[in-house]
Homo-oligomer: A and B are copies of this chain.
Amino acid sequence: MAIETSASVSDENSSHLQKASVQDAGPAPLDASKLKITLTQSPKALVPPEQLRFGHTFSDHMIFAAYDPVTGWSAPEIKPYAPLTLDPSSSCFQYCTNVFEGLKAYVGPDGTPRLFRPELNMRRLERSVARFALPPFDGDEVLKLIKRFVQIDARWIPAVPGHGLYLRPTVIGTRTAINLTASESAILFVIASPTGPYFPQGLRPISLLAVSDCVRAWPGGTGSDKVGGNYAPIILPQQLAAKQGYDQMLWLFGEDNRVTEAGIMNFFVVVTREDGDGLDVITAPLDGTILPGVTRASCLSLASSPAFQKEQSLRLHTHERVFTMADLVQWSAQGRLVEALSVGTAAIIASVSKIGWKGKDITLPAYEAGLGPVGMALREKVVAIQEGREEWEGWGVACD
């Protein structure tokens, strides 16, 4: 049975009136307090956690709101997962005015669904939307909608460590004319996919192929924004890497072959310091060619935290700096390359076994647990925070 209800309550009426008068001056802003909820009449059967493949299953509902240049954002809805119907001239098909985010809801021993630093995703979404001149909104309103959505579809969060409900906020331009200009109409939607480990092999390390003739991003482009058009171009290079027996690409930039990202994840190396004072944890700087990942920022923050280092008995020095393939070759030859890590929301933290480069492999140390000392410490800490087993600087945000 469909249940239609409004999330508005009577004591919010006065603020609605205030907003109505603001609307007279322009298009309505996105307003989570206007949420309309329509529950599905036919809930789907859950997929057993061990059968989940990343991104193949979707939950019962979705968030939906549409922007019209005159009236502004529609009252947001949570409604049954459903197709979109769009004119073939729509900007999203023609000019790819499409941006997205990825974040996960986790459930831990206390049964409360939690998001991991979702405000970082909302800020990045706002930036991506601005980069493509799409209709703006306050990401905090989206976050309110997501929290409610996660509550409604909480049964879809697999209660298995390392599993979560992957949330995909998406904004697409829906202007129906093919002269190139900003899409003054748009749709915001959020879908949710229950997921186990991104790589089916779990913590088995991945292999990377470094190439210099395909370039993911460049200064003055969109490499630091989470826009859909950054992804289609990397499918073919990824296929070529797979044909050579590697799991993912290692993206390079510039004549000096700077290391930038790995596949669709940020990339770290852990290097023994020459002065004997522990380990350097190094990742590329945010120079416009790097996506400012939430997991990247969290790894940098944890690794530079004295409390984390003390707890894990690690001595770490973090660096956001340019490093090149020549550096990797040298560190490997010197026996100083302790770990290489791919980090991102989907796979969290994955270890790298080898990096193909100019017909040879840079081989990383193998660890029985699948991750080395730094990767394992970071991963376990991040997962503990995600699942609410540990509190850390407010990173775990309960959906309540």
Name A's B-contacting residues (CB within 8 A): 53-56, 58, 62, 81-89, 91-98, 100, 130-133, 166, 168, 170, 172-173, 177-182, 189, 191, 193, 198, 212-215, 218-222, 227-236, 238-239, 264
* Known contacts A56-B177, A92-B93, A229-B233, then 12 further A-B pairs from the complex at CB < 8 Å, ordered by chain A residue: A84-B87, A85-B85, A93-B98, A94-B98, A95-B228, A95-B231, A130-B236, A131-B236, A132-B232, A132-B233, A168-B178, A229-B232
Do A182 and B131 contact each other (CB < 8 Å), given the known contacts A95-B231, A233-B229?
A: no
B-side contacts of A89, CB under 8 Å: 55, 58, 168, 191, 193
| Pairwise interchain contact B83-A83, C-beta atoms closer than 8 A | no
B-side contacts of A173, CB under 8 Å: 232
B-side contacts of A98, CB under 8 Å: 93-94, 96, 232
Q: Which of B191, B215, B232 contacts A218 (CB 8 A)?
A: B215
Taken together as a complex, chains A and B put the C-alpha atoms of A56 and B92 apart, in Å, by 16
B-side contacts of A131, CB under 8 Å: 233, 236
Shortest Cβ gap from A219 to chain B (Å): 7
Shortest Cβ gap from A104 to chain B (Å): 13
Taken together as a complex, chains A and B put the C-alpha atoms of A91 and B170 apart, in Å, by 12
Closest to A53 in B: B179
| Pairwise interchain contact A228-B181, C-beta atoms closer than 8 A | no
| Pairwise interchain contact B168-A94, C-beta atoms closer than 8 A | yes
B-side contacts of A82, CB under 8 Å: 88
| Pairwise interchain contact A193-B178, C-beta atoms closer than 8 A | yes
Closest to A193 in B: B178
Q: Which of B95, B230, B236 contacts A133 (CB 8 A)?
A: B236
Do A220 and B214 contact each other (CB < 8 Å), given the known contacts A92-B93, A96-B98?
A: yes
| Pairwise interchain contact A62-B86, C-beta atoms closer than 8 A | no
| Pairwise interchain contact A133-B87, C-beta atoms closer than 8 A | no
Q: Which of B62, B179, B227, B236 contacts A55 (CB 8 A)?
A: B179
Taken together as a complex, chains A and B put the C-alpha atoms of A177 and B91 apart, in Å, by 22
B-side contacts of A236, CB under 8 Å: 130-133, 182
B-side contacts of A93, CB under 8 Å: 84, 92, 98, 170, 172, 228
